[in-house]
Amino acid sequence: MINNNSEILFLYDAQMCNPNGDMDNENKPRMDYATSTNLVSDVRLKRYLRDYFEEVKEQEIFITNKAKDADERSKQLKDGGKEHRDLIDVRLFGAVTAEKDKGGHFTGPVQFNWGYSLHPVEIVDSSTITSSFSGGQGIGQDYRVYYSLIAFSGSINANTSVETKLTEEDIQLLDEAMIMAIPLARTRTKIGQYPRLYLRIELNGKDKFLKDLRNMIKVKSSDSRIAENLSLIRKPEDYELDISALINYLNQNKDKINIIHYWKDEEISIPDFDKIFIQEDWKHKLPY
């Protein structure tokens, strides 16, 4: 059990890859076509994290690729003498199981909204790919984005953590996975993604919350051509992030904040970044 709520802001970018294919639309990158905004589901983000827990940290998880479905995984746990709350992803994200008589629904204390790009995104003109398999060949389309800076908002609910027995050690592992997991997804369509900024704002107590921090970040460019059309961004050097609204908001809500756990990639330009630490004791740099 934990004592404080947290708010999460996570930014990562995708270069010449497909951050989240839509299986109902030829596996094209998920998009809001009205605004040319690139979308990524919370399920996709959690898959990166779960794979890191299982493959890198060698921890057992509930939503594993090694089991066909939740019922099979529940049976494996029962046969092994374990409970669902013995698994890191259940303690973090919750689970729904078939064992209704034993409390088959665990509400996860860690939740994320869908991610979206902070600027308009262009999709690369599709190239045809050919795959050989037994009995013939298959022809498909290879869809990618040129560049997308994707932002996720999340929260950790201390009240809900009682049900899943979430611990401070679990949250520290989540911090690590948020920074380390995505670059290790080195499949053909996912290679080219890197974390750029992670903030976990730990609040004072279980009754505090903040607004979605993504709305307080603006993408700007000193290149006039790109400034007029942000879909022309191709690399981190093409832009900088204006966080003046975020700094003002944190200052207005400083009494709610206990500490800010943070990690920032050196390639991303954020003028006045250190000003988010209005109070020096807010600052905790993550060692990754």
Tokens of 63: 């939503």
pLDDT tens digits for range 77-134: 888 888 888 999 999 999 987 665 455 688 999 999 999 999 999 999 866 544 444 5
DSSP string, 53-83: IIIIS----SS-TTSSSHHHHHHHHHHTT--
User: Three-class SS string for 245-276?
Assistant: HHHHHHHHCHHHEEEEEEEECCCCCCCCHHHH
In this predicted model, which residue has the larger pLDDT, 216 or 106?
Answer: 216
Q: Which pLDDT score, from 0 to 100, does residue 217 have?
A: 98
Largest CA distance in the chain: 66
Calculate mean pLDDT across residues 18-37.
96
pLDDT at 244 over 60: yes
Distance CA 258, CA 115 (A): 26
- Cβ–Cβ contacts within 10 Å for residue 28, how many? 18
Report residue 209 CA to chain centroid gap.
Answer: 19
Distance CA 172, CA 156 (A): 12
pLDDT tens digits for range 133-161: 455 455 568 899 999 999 999 999 999 99
pLDDT at 69 over 90: no
Q: Which pLDDT score, from 0 to 100, does residue 256 have?
A: 97
pLDDT at 210 over 50: yes
CB-based contact 221:239 (threshold 8 Å): yes
